[in-house]
Amino acid sequence: MNSRFDQAIDRRKSGCFKYDALSILHGRDDVLSMWVADMDFAVSEEIQSALSERLKHPVFGYNYRLPDFYEAVQLWQKTRFAWATQEDWIVAVPGIVPGISLAVLSLTEPGDGVLIQTPVYPPFFNAATDHGRHLITSPLINNNGLYSIDWEDLETKLKQAKLFILCSPHNPISRVWSREELCKMGHLCQKHGVIVFSDEIHEDLVYPGFKHIPFASIEDFAEITITGISPAKSFNIAGLATAVLMISNPKLRKPVKVLNEKLHLYMGNSFGIRALIAAYHDSEVWLEELLQYLNVTREMIVDFFQREIPSVKVSPIEGTYLAWMDFKDWELDDAELQNIMLNKALIALEPGIKYGEDGKGYMRLNFGCPRSTVIEALNRIKNLQGML
């Protein structure tokens, strides 16, 4: 039986970064676009209806978030993750990446250490370097594709850090950190007096056998934590520029909130506000269908590489809609790998080197699209083997 997610939607000429920027960023647009992390699926009917209803009011002036905005955020965290939060913890921001910069600028000083675990989402690097902070990296241990934390290295690096940016679930390696791992990270951060920014934008995108646990919901870690939350990834509304920071400790919240207001980032997007409410309050059925669809796709991807392209190792996909692929056995440098994917296979992927030096020889594939597109991409990669 066909799924709603099998529908192919032409996004070109809609002002869509994923497709309309292909020629500028990749040099051609006649390719499968599987790079930037947004999905090619229509948003839920509930979100569409909420936006249509908002459109009936013909005025789009400055926004004021009514209680239903805060209630939706709190209800989602309570029902999905058993995390009881409070309205006054919530700081509304246009996105989690701006939220990270707010934390860096308001809670650290120039020259302070900002720690990240690599390979990791590129803006984490920029959050330190763009603001004159000292970037510290703690590489994750790669054991045949399954990543784990180098605890000795992490503690050594935490001694040098003021802020630790945690990616949970992790992009691009698709790890969903266990309670044991989160507890150990939290205790080390407490021991060394390090603030944690926990980017949990992929919190909803977790597969059977795994469970996302909000870092700040564990023990007393909330006292040292800023949590970034958004429906952008899970409900495919990144273009509506809406996210929140959850900060229970007023000593952390006040400086972040003050800077957010000084930069006038707090006002919000008229449609993003209504979309968040419709996502968290009314779209859970849509999300569950999405997770079932993505789960079949991720199992198909792992099986395909094991059977058809064993020279390429795919890290276990515990969460997100991202596949992290190790091409090092092909013995190509990163430029050659990017070239053969783009100009021979005609697929636009994210080169692993963007995620740090330990991403060399890797590529990231976004499978948040109709399964027919994924199958086509996998077959094209398989066909490349004969060209090596």
Q: Could you please state the CATH topology (level 3) that the domain comprising 4-43+285-387 is classified under.
A: Aspartate Aminotransferase, domain 1 (3.90.1150)
pTM: 0.97
Alpha-carbon torsion (53, 58, 63, 67), positive or negative: negative
Integer Cα distance of 305 and 303 in angstroms: 6
Map residue 138 onto helix, strand or coil: strand
Neighbouring-strand partners of residue 138: 117
C-alpha neighbours within 13 Å on the C-beta side of residue 69: 21
In this structure, the number of other CB atoms found within 10 A of the CB of residue 66 comes to 10
Mean pLDDT of the chain: 97
Neighbouring-strand partners of residue 325: 314, 363
| Residue range 302-343, pLDDT digits in tens | 999 999 999 999 999 999 999 999 999 999 999 999 999 999
Integer Cα distance of 339 and 370 in angstroms: 25
The tokens describing 289, both together, are 């269908």
| Domains 4-43+285-387 and 48-282 are alike in CATH topology | no
What are the residue ranges spanned by the domains of the chain?
4-43+285-387, 48-282
Contact 340, 230 (CB under 8 A): no
Q: Are strands 350-351 and 362-366 parallel, antiparallel or unpaired?
A: antiparallel
**Residue 293 pLDDT class (50, 70, 90 cuts):** very high
Q: Could you please state the CATH topology (level 3) that the domain comprising 48-282 is classified under.
A: Aspartate Aminotransferase; domain 2 (3.40.640)
Query: What torsion, rounded to 10 degrees, do the Cα atoms 239, 121, 182, 188 define?
Result: -130
C-alpha neighbours within 13 Å on the C-beta side of residue 235: 29
| Residue range 79-88, pLDDT digits in tens | 999 999 999 9
Alpha-carbon torsion (196, 118, 244, 227), positive or negative: negative
pLDDT of res. 2 = 81
Integer Cα distance of 278 and 69 in angstroms: 10
DSSP state for residue 369 in the 8-state scheme? S
Which residue has tokens 């070109």? 12
